[in-house]
């Protein structure tokens, strides 16, 4: 539980109410350690406190509330932090990542009805993004779940619900067909490496990854990057122009840093597009020369949650994984019992390679 921004997480027993109408109790089997959680822990992103973090997870249905029709106890499920109401204009036009109800849920610290199922010492405890899976159990909306095939490990299902769908989705859903196009990916964390996998699927060439951690760059090369650039020791723009003299058709920024975003725009060829994926602190801005956009027709677009329709895209990702076309096992890093959660975030801060996985039911 996070009680104050900028302080370590506290392991504590928290009460959990029974699921209400159209809600499901899930026994959490695995949860991914994501930079977005880190932003909330530091206070770069804000949420009501106290809160149980964790938004990237998978598990098994333990019980269902009244009116639940899609799931039954024993079903394996992945957790989605952007549920869809199915009624707002964004859901109706096929852009559920922008669902109005999901946005309200994210800011309220509750579930879709705005209330919480968590409590401690007579005080209500909030849900992070309607999930709160750094726990043994969580109660979520039925709309925040996707079925997981029996052959897909819980760890793979967990990371697919955030890092993978965000990174792969940014390529499949925003970039689209890019065979033979040059693409540069800034950041080789879980989202950036997933973007590499998406670029490989689409046949982009060259695929260039920029990071400051040599081990992450090595992983990017193993996953299909044709070139890597170590930003700690190289002039990134110069290195990219040497690889693609005319400039890149596409850039994906998976870090959320103004300087990186500005470099990404600079290295695009005329008509190129920057896809901004990484989150920054509230209020973060970056500068783009107006005439660069007008005279060179460069574009900047954002992508939330891979601009995905999760009920369609997540099953597709599972199918690609089972077919051997998405080597997601390579993205898994160190595994941690729940009581080592702060160590997991320390490792993330210091550039650990691969996605950290919290296993709530494993002891130290």
Position 147 scores a pLDDT of 98
Q: How confident is the model at residue 89 (pLDDT cuts 50, 70, 90)?
A: very high
Mean pLDDT over 217-240 rounds to: 97
Q: Tell me if 210 sits within 8 A of 233, measured CB to CB.
A: no
Other C-beta atoms closer than 10 Å to the C-beta of 342 total: 15
Q: Is the predicted pLDDT of residue 265 greater than 90, yes or no?
A: yes
Q: What is the pLDDT of residues 118-158, one digit of tens each?
A: 999 989 999 999 999 999 999 999 999 999 999 999 999 99
Could you tell me the pLDDT band of residue 363, with boundaries at 50, 70 and 90?
Answer: low
Question: What value does the mean pLDDT take over residues 294-304?
Answer: 97
Average of per-residue pLDDT across 103-108: 88
pLDDT digits (tens, 9 = 90+) for 25-60: 999 999 999 999 999 999 999 999 999 999 999 999
Q: What is the pLDDT of residue 350?
A: 86
Predicted confidence (pLDDT) at residue 92 exceeds the cutoff of 60: yes
Residue 71 CB coordination number (10 Å): 17
Cα dihedral sign, 308-312-317-320: negative
Position 351 confidence tier, pLDDT thresholds 50, 70, 90: confident
**Mean pLDDT (the chain, rounded):** 95
**Residue 364 reports pLDDT greater than 60:** no
Mean pLDDT of 87-105: 92
Cα distances (angstroms) measured from residue 151 to each of 30, 82, 148, 274: 15, 24, 8, 36
Fold of 167-303: Rossmann fold (3.40.50)
Mean pLDDT along residues 191-195: 98
For residue 243, give both structure tokens.
Answer: 């690889």
**What is the pLDDT at residue 129?**
95
Contact 113, 138 (CB under 8 A): no
More confident site: 307 or 362: 307
Tell me the pLDDT tens digit for each residue of 150-176. Answer: 999 999 999 999 999 999 999 999 999
- H/E run at residue 76: strand 76-79
H-only helix segments in the chain: 35-42, 89-92, 100-108, 154-159, 165-169, 190-202, 214-223, 236-243, 258-266, 290-295, 310-322, 341-349
Topology (CATH) of 15-148+327-359: Quinone Oxidoreductase; Chain A, domain 1 (3.90.180)
Domain locations in the chain as residue ranges: 15-148+327-359, 167-303
């Amino acid at each position: 539980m996070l009680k104050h921004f900028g302080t370590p997480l506290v392991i504590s027993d928290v009460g959990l109410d029974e699921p209400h109408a159209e809600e499901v109790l899930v026994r959490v089997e695995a949860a991914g350690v994501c930079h977005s959680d880190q932003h909330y822990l530091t206070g770069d992103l804000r949420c009501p406190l106290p809160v149980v973090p964790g938004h990237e997870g998978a598990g098994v249905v333990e019980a269902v509330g009244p009116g639940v029709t899609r799931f039954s106890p024993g079903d394996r499920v992945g957790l989605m932090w952007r549920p869809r109401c199915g009624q707002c204009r964004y859901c109706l036009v096929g852009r559920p990542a922008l669902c109005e109800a999901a946005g309200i849920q994210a800011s309220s610290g509750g579930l879709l009805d705005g209330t919480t199922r968590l409590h401690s010492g007579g005080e209500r405890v909030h849900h992070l993004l309607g999930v709160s899976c750094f726990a043994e159990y969580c109660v979520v909306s039925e709309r925040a779940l996707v079925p997981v095939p029996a052959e897909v490990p819980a760890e793979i299902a967990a990371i697919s619900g955030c890092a993978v769908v965000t990174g792969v989705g940014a390529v499949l859903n925003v970039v689209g067909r890019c065979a033979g196009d040059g693409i540069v990916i800034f950041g080789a964390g879980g989202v950036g490496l997933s973007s590499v996998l998406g670029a490989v699927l689409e046949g982009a060439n060259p695929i260039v990854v920029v990071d400051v951690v040599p081990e992450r760059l090595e992983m990017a090369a193993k996953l299909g990057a044709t070139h890597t650039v170590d930003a700690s020791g190289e002039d990134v723009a110069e290195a990219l122009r040497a690889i693609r003299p005319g400039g890149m058709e596409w850039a994906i920024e998976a870090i959320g840093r103004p300087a990186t975003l500005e470099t990404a725009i600079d290295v695009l060829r005329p008509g190129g597009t920057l896809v901004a994926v990484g989150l920054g602190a509230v209020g973060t801005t970056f500068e783009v020369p107006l005439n660069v956009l007008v005279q060179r027709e460069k574009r900047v677009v954002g992508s939330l949650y891979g601009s995905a329709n999760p009920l369609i895209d997540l099953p597709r990702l599972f199918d690609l994984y089972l077919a051997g076309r998405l080597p997601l096992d390579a993205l898994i890093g160190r595994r941690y019992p729940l009581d080592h959660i702060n160590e997991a975030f320390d490792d993330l801060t210091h550039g650990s390679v691969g996605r950290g996985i919290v296993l709530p039911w494993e002891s130290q």
